[in-house]
Structure 1
Amino acid sequence: MPSTLYTDPRLVALYDTLNPFAADTDFYLALAAGMQRVIDLGCGTGLLACELASRGHRVIAVDPAPEMLHVARHRPNGDRVQWIEGDARALALLPPADLLMMTGHVAQVFLDDTAFLNTLKAARYALREGGTLAFESRNPAARAWESWTPAQSHRLIDVNGVGEVEVWQDDVSASPESGIRFNTYYRFKATDETLTSTSELRFRTQDELSAQLEAAGFRHLTWQGDWNGAAVSASSRELIVVAR
């Protein structure tokens, strides 16, 4: 079941404030430079897809959540993007792309190895010969989930039209599916209402990701451990891969 962060309109309205343009956006925009056709798989509210379209790329953006796509379609330049409600299975019907991206740690929502491998195979099929796949996944060695406590994760955001909202994580546990399950709480100060979304993420090692990518047909993998281009190390918070 998808997290209510992607399906509850009240939480979808917070998404852009919680996930604004940042160093990861700059990385993917730079990677797309010179590429004509780009697929954004798991596009969310379309922030990156619309920015790519504004720069002249031919963008196809795919997401399974209609509430997220509703926001995306109404963005500036949203009319220049081809929006598809669906998952990786939709890729089989698309023209070959130069670049396919899965941003925002989308790779971690695939708890099952078979489902993840099938997604990578679909991505390989959707790319032209020599095309590029890029995504990031949190490095399990950094144990990010240990900071998902109320004290360490608490944030106060101010959302236009909504007001101030307190956000924090709690209730972290390992799940039988080998993922990390946790709750995110959202307290709307204007109404004193608190909503909860439950998420589950899979943390794969670099070796595990490499094996899946190679099984999907990708032969040339370039890795970095941060958005500034640093090499992967035990302290890297990210595992960022560009695969061909």
Structure 2
Amino acid sequence: MWHGEYRDPRLVEVYDAEHPWGWEDDFFMRVLADRMTPRVLDLGCGTGRLAIAMAEAGHEVTAVDPARASLDAARRRPGAARVRWIEGSFETLPPRSFDAAFLTGHVTELLVTDEEWSGALHALRDSLTVDGRLILDGRDPAARPWRGWDRAGTERPIVLSDGSSVIAWTESVPAADERTVSVVHHYLFPDGLELTSTAVHRFRDETTLRDSLRAAGFRVDQLYGGWSREPVGLSEDGELIVIAIAEPRILP
């Protein structure tokens, strides 16, 4: 899919303007501080907001993303020189190189097929030291977040750094089983230019997450439903936030 918010420089700017530092970033920084974690991976780092903050907190951070326009924006941020930036995806991860890996910003939903998802989890397991942590998030499909993904429910102005506003909205088409949702994001610029970005989101429930992590060599340590560490289903955030531990490989 196109994913223009990550690949078109004009939409990367819009994405950055709409996604400043938030409570989810505070959550990830607190999780990072829970244990000694010298070497950190940020997979799907986008424009680098979280990666740079982790590096400024004293961690050795490697940030990986397949979208060059996002990485270009990340490298322009203050503090970017502290981070090692890599254009690529989970296929490029070095083995046994990290004490923690982060997969944030609902990036898990963009790994649509079972093969992509399994491949990413196995690559992340191989990139972590034994007892290293994987921290990831995704929307809880039980909350059916896509129900409000239409123009009436999503249209909003996004103010850019120069003071101009882009009008944005989202339209979605759920699959019959509601595990996958196709979306089109619209962005109307002040000069009348309209750009669109397409994507498919795959929603995995708690059982699917636990089973797939176990199959990839992880043990689920914590699973929350919100950014204040609420139990699943008891938060308006409607999240599934996982902290999993890389277990030792069992040799045949």
Tell me which interval the TM-score lies in, with the shorter structure as reference length.
over 0.9
Distance 1:30 1:195, change over 3 A: same
Q: Confirm or deny: 8 A CA contact 1:175 1:181 kept in the other structure.
A: no
Shift in Å at residue 149 of structure 1?
1.1
Q: Confirm or deny: 8 A CA contact 2:45 2:64 kept in the other structure.
A: yes
Distance 1:187 1:96, change over 3 A: same
**Rounded Cα–Cα distance in structure 2 between residues aligned with 1:159 and 1:113:** 37
Instruction: Give the paired residue count.
Output: 242
Q: Confirm or deny: 8 A CA contact 1:141 1:234 kept in the other structure.
A: no
Q: Confirm or deny: 8 A CA contact 1:49 1:59 kept in the other structure.
A: yes
Shift in Å at residue 117 of structure 1?
0.8
Runs (4+) of structure 1 moved beyond 4 Å? Answer: 175-178
Distance 1:13 1:210, change over 3 A: same
**Rounded Cα–Cα distance in structure 1 between residues aligned with 2:222 and 2:231:** 10
1:36 corresponds to 2:34? no
| RMSD of equivalent CA atoms | 1.7
Equivalent residue runs for 1:9-28 within 5 Å: 9-28=9-28
**Counterpart residue number, 2:250:** none
Distance 1:11 1:162, change over 3 A: farther
**Counterpart residue number, 1:238:** 239
**Counterpart residue number, 2:248:** none
1:96 corresponds to 2:97? yes
Equivalent residue runs for 1:213-224 within 5 Å: 213-224=213-224
Q: Confirm or deny: 8 A CA contact 1:111 1:178 kept in the other structure.
A: no
Equivalent residue runs for 1:161-180 within 5 Å: 161=162, 163-174=164-175, 178-180=179-181
**Rounded Cα–Cα distance in structure 2 between residues aligned with 1:72 and 1:238:** 26
Equivalent position SS for 2:198: strand
Shift in Å at residue 6 of structure 1?
1.4
Q: Confirm or deny: 8 A CA contact 2:146 2:172 kept in the other structure.
A: no
Could you tell which deviates more after superposition, 71-80 or 94-103? 94-103
Shift in Å at residue 178 of structure 1?
4.9
**Counterpart residue number, 2:207:** 207
Per-residue Cα deviation, 1:119-146 (whole angstroms, up to 9, x for no partner): 0011111111110000011000111001
Equivalent position SS for 2:5: coil
**Rounded Cα–Cα distance in structure 2 between residues aligned with 1:5 and 1:124:** 28
Shift in Å at residue 2 of structure 1?
3.5
Shift in Å at residue 3 of structure 1?
1.2
- Residue 90 of structure 2 aligns with an amino acid whose one-letter code is A
- Residue 5 of structure 1 aligns with an amino acid whose one-letter code is E
**Rounded Cα–Cα distance in structure 2 between residues aligned with 1:98 and 1:235:** 29
**Rounded Cα–Cα distance in structure 2 between residues aligned with 1:232 and 1:177:** 19
**Rounded Cα–Cα distance in structure 2 between residues aligned with 1:230 and 1:220:** 16
Shift in Å at residue 7 of structure 1?
1.1
**Counterpart residue number, 1:141:** 142
Equivalent position SS for 2:199: strand
**Rounded Cα–Cα distance in structure 2 between residues aligned with 1:9 and 1:145:** 26
Shift in Å at residue 161 of structure 1?
3.0
**Counterpart residue number, 2:183:** 182
- Residue 162 of structure 2 aligns with an amino acid whose one-letter code is G
Alignment identity in percent? 40
Equivalent residue runs for 1:94-133 within 5 Å: 96-133=97-134
**Rounded Cα–Cα distance in structure 2 between residues aligned with 1:163 and 1:224:** 38
1:64 corresponds to 2:66? yes
Per-residue Cα deviation, 1:187-223 (whole angstroms, up to 9, x for no partner): 112x021111111100111100111000000123310
TM-score by length of 1: 0.94
